[in-house]
Structure 1
Amino acid sequence: ATADPAAGSPSPSTTSSSSSLRRRAALSVNTSAPAGGGRGMERKSKGADEGERDVERAAGSAPVSPAGRLFREAHFNCYIVALLGLGAPVDVAAARAGLEATLVRHPRFCSVQVSDDVKKNAKPRWVRTTVNLDDHVIFPDLDPAATSADPDRALEDYVSSLSTRPMDNSRPLWEFHVLDFPTSEAAGAVAIRMHHSLGDGVSLISLLTACTRSAADPARLPALPSPPPPRRSGGAALALAAWAWSLVALAWNTLVDVALFVATSWFLRDAPTPFLGSPGVEFRRKRFLNCTLSLDDVKLVKNAMKCTVNDVLVGVTSAALSRYYFRKIGEWRHQQR
């Protein structure tokens, strides 16, 4: 290996060669079998895996998780689409500065998925790359007549189109679509689209929350209210009985769910309903609708029921879906007669 005299550092070819040499050295050192036999070989194999992971971390790459690989399958290409309504027009300069200081620095949001074509059955891995915000902050060219005549419909149409629009796999798999026109409920909106292989919903929501700042103090992270401490009623024996019963119920429900899952995989089939999708339904365009509720009304129910805002929203959603389902089932059965 020779150094680049102009830069005073190894040339790109030298860096690549030295990386591969370090990789082979780590593998050769950790996989060399001692005279002891099989158990020593097993320990050395584990050491080889750890050495390979250390080399990958040093090179700025990490393996894609099994769930991440599943979400990249052709028949299961899954996106997360979120719509944020804003109380003021989008401040593009501030948004770009915020993204550069927070989201772009996250390993998953500055990496692409690549596979080693040389190896057979190679698994994809995350590799760091340079992020160009112009590729990720998108200003769609919408028809001004449509956004003026019915802005809510124009917003729904555009967000719906994101469910089938492919992403460029040569870039990090996330996009911010700036929809800078007023609707009936917001002065502007931002549609966020991320590939599901980046993470699950809870982790991504936590990450986006960490990228925001408090309106009262821009230097402080937003503070979420802590849940109230659980109220203890009764004695220790009652608490122990409740804990034991919850454990038994959890074990029973788990067994039932596993049995139903196995039976469905082997021979059970879903009953025909108007909601049963035909083959290929997962590739069809999806439409996202929203309904605005008064937060004061939600808090009124919360205080009356002594529960949380989340409990109220889950209950309202569950009741609405149940009423919709049974109404549609009744109409469908009436048509089948």
Structure 2
Amino acid sequence: MEHQWLKPISTTRTSKQEVEEPLSLATCLFHMPRLNCCIVAVTGFNTAINVDVVKEGLNQTVVKHPRISSKLVFDPKNPGRPIGWIRTKVDVNNHIIVPNLDYSNMDSPDEFVKDYVSNLAQTPMDLTKPLWEIHILNIKTKDANSIAVFRIHHSIGDGISIISLILSCTRKTSDPNAVPTLPTENKKLVNTRSSFSLWDYFLWLLFAFNMLWNTFIDVCMFLATIVFLKDTKTHLKGSSGTEKAPKKFVYRILSLDDIKLVKNIMNVTINDVVLGITQAGLSRYLNRKYCESKGDEGVQKNNLPKHICIRSSIPINVRPTSKLQDLAEQMETDDPNTKKWEWGNAIGHIFLPFHIALREDPLDYIRSAKATIGKKKHSLEAIVTYICAEIVLKFLGLGVAAAITYRVLSNTTLGFSNMVGPMEEISFYGHPITFLATSVSGHPHALTIHFQSYMDKMTLVIAVDQNVIPDPQQLCDDIAESLGLVKKAAQKKKIFKI
């Protein structure tokens, strides 16, 4: 199978012997034309950004990371094909971009930032230098006094690793020597008795059978998606080539306290609430679209087709991620012997179904989300798909693996994730952060929805192919309004219980 790699860039001819670290096959996938992905993170600050301070901070920390200070090596026989990494001297001036802009004559700074990020996502990265950059916009918006846009190629690492690397460069505003604190999941106490009854063994066997059964069903669905199973063609699903279409990025800051209120009243997790309000928002949006298609003015009327199949293909990191404290300590030392970097892409996939319907009780969206996520927690889908991907890469080659990955993504409707952020205010080299908004570009989805928590905020980030979804702000509104309806219903439920 022949493949069109990215167009070669004129570089010095490099032999394979000079490769310090070979490119893993999984990482090579992110340099295939239809899977050429970049992570984009928009960060708002309380103060104007001092560019010189940021450059000095980067020189003292992040550029010491081997992957951040490495550039691609290309195959001499096929100059457009990357084969590995080689360390290079990083000049941060080549990675910090400060556009010369006239901020005084700007009609809408918020719209300018969104357009800037959208245009940036369409600009190819320079493959002759390490694959990261920071764009600094000293522009006052509704939510911040300045903006920094981080863009990092996905081949550098998985999303969690990259966000962890960025956060390891920050410190608590209240304690400049302390790294951020991330929320940890409360785990239930495990039975620590030395002996187990017959009932305990029965429950263990039931749990194991449930895990195996869920995994079997999930893997069958995965195989069916590769062969023939496609999501319903709706007003959210893109077609072939949507990965190359211009993407529009919009974001909205929601109240994390409202989400926690619903979580506590319903006795669920934040993930359950986030998935629930997304299902509600997508249902409202699609119902309106089908209403417009029919020429019906009654938006409250149910215009949704029956049996809509909408799924998200979610990449899951199956490799342990370094702790923020360890990353921070490794970057602050100059002794190479103390560095034990574990990096790269070890990614499995899960399919998360979205139940699209108009429900009388808004809390039903949360209940269905809890049931869906509960099944996924009792499944080994991510590990099995990761192992299968490694086998395909090893025995069938990169071309087949890329074709399967593209087919899996394009047969589903959207990308979806919820990233956990610091609980307290943090500063990036002395600049207090007001919000974080992360997303990704370059994959074959017309819709990508990301949630990013930080302090008492939850940032909703939506990236769309505007040929498919021309009004992403309306979709933001629908999800935000769904949170309000769910919160109101949960408060009524609490009063009724009392």
Q: With structure 1 as the length reference, what TM-score do the two structures score?
A: 0.72
> Residue 273 of structure 1 contacts residue 329 of structure 1 at CA under 8 Å; is this kept in 2?
no
Counterpart Cα distance in 2 of 1:72 and 1:104? 22
Tell me how far apart the structure 2 counterparts of residues 117 and 252 of structure 1 sit (CA, whole Å).
48
Decide which of 250, 263, 266 is 2:224's aligned counterpart.
263
After TM superposition, give the deviation of residue 259 of structure 1 in Å: 2.4
Aligned with 2:282 (options 321, 326, 337): 321
Name which of 273, 279, 282 aligns with 2:243: 282
Q: Secondary structure at the match of 2:248?
A: coil
Greater alpha carbon shift after TM alignment, 118-127 vs 267-276: 118-127
Per-residue CA deviation, residues 67-88 of structure 1 (Å, 9 max, x unaligned), is 2111111222111111111112
Question: 25, 28, 32: which is aligned to 1:73?
Answer: 32
Partner Cα separation in structure 2 for residue 319 and residue 276 of structure 1: 17
* Superposition TM-score, scaled by structure 2 size: 0.50
Cα distance in 1, alignment partners of residues 264 and 222 from structure 2: 39
Q: 1:262 to 1:297 in 2, by over 3 A?
A: closer
What residue number does 1:223 align with? 181
SS in 1 for 2:253: coil
Amino acid at match of 2:129: R
Question: 2: CA distance between counterparts of 1:69 and 1:241?
Answer: 45
In the other structure, the counterpart of 2:59 is: 100
SS of corresponding position for 1:288: strand
- TM-superposed CA distance for 1:111, in Å, is 0.7
Q: Distance between the aligned counterparts of 1:298 and 1:268, measured in 2?
A: 34
Amino acid at match of 1:293: L
Q: Per-residue CA shift, 1:271-327, capped at 9, x if unaligned?
A: 332223233211011111111112332333333334554544343334323433444
Contact 1:214/1:222 (8 A) holds in 2: yes
Q: Does 1:165 align with 2:123?
A: yes
Give the secondary structure class of the aligned counterpart of 2:188: coil
Contact 1:60 1:128 in 2 (8 A): no
AA in 2 matched with 1:67? A
Deviation, structure 1 residue 145: 5.0
Write the distance in 1 (CA, Å) between the matches of 2:54 and 2:271. 29
Q: Indicate the larger mover: 89-98 or 138-147.
A: 138-147
**Which deviates more from structure 2 when the two are superposed, residues 75-84 or residues 249-258?**
249-258
- Distance in 1 between the 2:57 and 2:148 partners? 14
Larger helix percent: 1
Contact kept? 1:174, 1:192, Cα under 8 Å: yes
The 5 Å alignment of 1:81-160 reads 81-118=40-77, 124-145=83-104, 147=106, 149-160=107-118
Q: Which amino acid in the other structure matches residue 221 of structure 1?
A: V
Larger proportion of strand: 2
Q: What is the SS of the residue equivalent to 1:158?
A: helix
Partner Cα separation in structure 2 for residue 153 and residue 163 of structure 1: 15
User: Residue 203 of structure 1 corresponds to which residue in structure 2?
Assistant: 161
Cα distance in 2, alignment partners of residues 291 and 243 from structure 1: 44
CA distance in 2 between counterparts of 1:137 and 1:109 reads 14
Distance 1:316 1:297 in 2: 12
1:282 and 1:122 mapped to 2: Cα distance? 20
Query: What are the superposed Cα offsets for residues 181-203 of structure 1, whole Å, 9 maximum, x if unpaired?
Result: 11011111111111110111111
Distance 1:325 1:256 in 2: 28
Runs of 4+ aligned residues of structure 1 deviating over 6 Å after TM superposition are: 119-123, 235-239, 333-337
Measure the CA separation in 2 of the matches of 1:250 and 1:156: 43
Question: In 1, are the aligned partners of 2:235 and 2:286 still within 8 Å (CA)?
Answer: no
Shift of 1:262: 2.7
Q: 1:333 to 1:317 in 2, by over 3 A?
A: same
What are the ranges of 5 or more consecutive residues in structure 1 without an aligned counterpart?
A: 1-19, 21-51
Aligned length: 281
* Equivalent pair of 1:274/1:332 in contact (CA under 8 Å): no
Q: Secondary structure, in 3 states, of the residue corresponding to 1:162?
A: helix
Give the Cα–Cα distance (whole angstroms) in 1 for the partners of residues 88 and 80 of structure 2. Answer: 24
In structure 2, the partner of 1:190 is: 148
Tell me which of the two structures has the higher relative contact order, counting C-alpha pairs closer than 8 angstroms and 6 or more residues apart: 2
Q: 1:264 to 1:179 in 2, by over 3 A?
A: same
> What's the counterpart of residue 293 of structure 1?
254
CA contact (8 A) 2:42 2:147 kept: yes
Percent of counterpart pairs with the same letter?
40
Partner of 1:302: 263
Aligned to 1:40: none
**Structure 1 residues 198-207 or 311-320, which shifts more?**
311-320
Letter in 1 for 2:181: A
C-alpha contact 1:214 1:221 (8 A) present in aligned 2:
yes
Give the AA of the match of 1:96. Answer: K
The 8 Å contact of residues 19 and 73 in structure 2, kept in 1 or not, is answered as no
